[in-house]
Amino acid sequence: MGKSSIILNAPRFIATNEINHNSPNWYKKHYDTDYTEIIYIQGGIGHFIFEEKHFVGQEGDLIIFNPFSNTEGKSCVDNPLKGISVSFSNLHINGIEKGCLSDSTDIPIIHLQEEKVEINNCLNAILSEYDTKHAGYQDIISSILQTVIIKVTRLLKNANHPSLSLVCLEVKKYIEENFRQELTLNDLANLVYVSPYHLSHVFKEEVGLPPIQYMIQCRIEEAKRLLEHSNLSVREIASLIGYENANYFNLLFKKITGSPPGKYRKIKV
């Protein structure tokens, strides 16, 4: 094959399966397997762990299980996963470790946008050919599978992968949009279907602060902005950012910034 070829060694198709809403206990463990598997999520929610990092998959997401990867996934009982899985071996992509579809250190998820209809149609076609097994079905599956792999490789090459896991990204965004409300660690953990302990651990590891401390940071930054660019009183600002006790806000603001709110305003304005 030429130097511009993406696939250096054609994959060998193994099997395809349908994951449906009637399987709320679906579970996949991919530790000691020597083949690659992709799962396209058509509906519901799946919880996945890659190298001890939790992420959530939902409609339009493609999950990659590389060979011998420390990856597992399970369906959300309250909103069971629906999708199609395709497994294959013998893959070699130009510039990627043999057997792998993606870099083995990346969080193995792609959020498909305009490509999701095409990928979904391709995987449905593979499933249909595999179920009916008409003459030449293996050749058709091989051709469609290579098309999917090339499409996925292009997406991965062009993707700007977030530095944070999906759980942390979702919680971080939620805090930034709702920090004025009373948020608890349990509230945030329930939002992404993980334990409070797990969320606190991974959020601090990736963001640098525990979730509630990050919420406080957002409040203080908003207080700074209001002190500099509004005529609101300190008491009004405290109430706006979630503190009904102005004295507590004064103490907290001074502890974090080094100056009480009134003095901070005089310095900055």
Tell whether 98 and 221 lie within a shared domain.
no
Domain boundary among 124, 158, 192: 158
Tell whether 111 and 172 lie within a shared domain.
no
Full residue range of the structural domain in which residue 90 is found: 7-158
The answer to whether 206 and 166 have CB atoms below 8 angstroms apart is: no
Is the pLDDT score of 2 beyond 70? no
Tell whether 34 and 140 lie within a shared domain.
yes
Tell whether 145 and 68 lie within a shared domain.
yes
- Which tens digits make up the pLDDT trace of 9-41? 999 999 999 998 777 788 888 877 899 999 999
Cβ neighbours of 80 (radius 10 Å):
19
- Which tens digits make up the pLDDT trace of 69-123? 888 899 988 889 999 999 999 999 988 889 999 887 677 888 888 899 999 999 9
Candidates 68, 57, 50; CA nearest to 19 is 57
pLDDT (0 to 100) of residue 160: 44
Cβ neighbours of 4 (radius 10 Å):
6
- Would 215 be classed as within a structural domain? yes
Q: What CATH number should be reported for the domain holding residue 153?
A: 2.60.120.280
What is the average pLDDT score of the chain?
Answer: 89
* DSSP code, position 100: -
pTM for the full predicted model: 0.59
- Number of independent structural domains in the chain: 2
> What average pLDDT does the segment 176-205 reach?
89
Tell whether 28 and 146 lie within a shared domain.
yes
* DSSP code, position 68: T
Written in H, E and C, the secondary structure of 198-238 is: HHHHHHHHHHCCCHHHHHHHHHHHHHHHHHHHCCCCHHHHH
pLDDT (0 to 100) of residue 162: 46
